[in-house]
Amino acid sequence: MIIFATETSCDETSVCILNKEKKILSHIIHTQKEHGKFGGVVPEIASRSHLQILQKITKQAFYESNINIKDVNLFCSTSGPGLMGGLLVGTTFTKSLAIGCGKPYMPINHLEGHILSPTFNNIINYPYICFLLTGGHTQLYLIRDINKYEMLGETLDDAIGEAFDKVAKLLGQSYPGGPIIEKKAKKGDDKYFDLPHPLNKKNNLNFSFSGIKTAVNLIVKKNNNIDEKFINNMSASFQKKISDILENKLHSVMIYLEQEKIKVSQISIVGGVASNKNIFYRMEKKAKDYNCSVILPPDFMFSDNAAMIAWVAMNKYTKKFNSDLLSKPNPRLSIDSIKL
């Protein structure tokens, strides 16, 4: 069993070749750096880059893996959610390969790719809680099993990764903002700025980040001297507030589970923001209060990548699977759309 997968939902162009022994024969992730000067992803530039890069790295992947394309048993690609242009490029390209080889094609939900990423390198105890933290999504799930996902909460405005990017831009930093904020925060005072805690008194499991971004914007406008010390202190204060919010939601979801008489022993954190060490340490410390451990995907599955897409396909493929060449990419694809 050999699977070929592509991921083109945003600004990472990625391909992966995975076999049934869970061995990654080739995995290439190309991050489109040209968006940095714009302070965010430009959809048209992203889709054009996918078109150029995808063909090149596909050839490279088959060369690295020493696999003939005709030996692939299943082709799959991200079909949503994401930017429509990128999704069209990835799905059309991958379907074409499947048709040319006379092999089946499977559309994959990008969110499920992130959700299942920690199952690649961890022994899982179902059910467990999943915090999905990316540039486009912030969601909280109860994972009962593969294909059984219950969304408990989501962001009402900005995604958590988007908030990092916007705050970095307000501070005059480049894109993507997450790694820069984390680096600057190490040199700053996380108690220097008192930032708001949206939904702190609301009895639900949803998130909100736009108020924090607005508060940072107002503080920046009132200060004429945006020097390195200011940037470091704001980065530290912002990162601390984000960690406070996540820690608070972990507490709230554990209360909810206790009321529902649902026992969990694992908390997973997935998506690009899950690579933030401060967030991980804070969540790990809080999880111990509930006798839970925090699990992460392997490092190469934090950001958008084709390995997690291939892994979902490997988990969902059965002998009864029918090729879905008529599927259409959906930029607003939800977790409710997931099926066998």
Per residue in 115-154, pLDDT tens? 999 999 999 999 999 999 999 999 999 999 998 999 999 9
Report residue 249's pLDDT band, with 50, 70 and 90 as the boundaries: very high
Q: Which residues of 184-209 are buried (b: 16+ CB within 10 A; e: fewer)?
A: bbeebebeebebeebbeeeeebbbbb
CA–CA dist 265, 140 (Å, integer): 16
| Per-domain boundaries in the chain | 2-114+303-337, 122-296
What was the pLDDT predicted at 338? 55
Model-wide pTM > 0.75:
yes
Evaluate whether 2-114+303-337 and 122-296 have a shared fold: yes
Q: What percentage of residues in the chain have a pLDDT greater than 90?
A: 87
Bond preceding residue 107 cis, omega within 30 of 0: no
* Amino acid of residue 336: D
pLDDT tens across 34-74, in order? Answer: 777 777 788 888 899 999 999 999 999 999 999 999 999 99
Alpha helix (H) residue ranges in the chain: 43-65, 84-101, 110-116, 160-170, 177-185, 210-222, 228-259, 277-287, 306-316
Question: Is it the case that residue 96 has pLDDT exceeding 60?
Answer: yes
Q: Please check the confidence at residue 337 and state whether its pLDDT lies above 70.
A: no
Q: What is the mean pLDDT of residues 204-213?
A: 95
CATH class of residue range 2-114+303-337: alpha beta
pLDDT score of 251: 97
Residue 158 has pLDDT above 80, yes or no: yes
Q: How many CB atoms lie within 10 A of CB 306?
A: 35
Superfamily of domain 122-296: ATPase, nucleotide binding domain (3.30.420.40)
Burial group, residue 324, by CB count within 10 angstroms (0-12, 13-18, 19+): middle
Q: What is the mean pLDDT of residues 94-109?
A: 97
Residues 274-286, mean pLDDT to the nearest whole number: 97
Average pLDDT over residues 69-81: 97
Q: How confident is the model at residue 340 (pLDDT cuts 50, 70, 90)?
A: very low
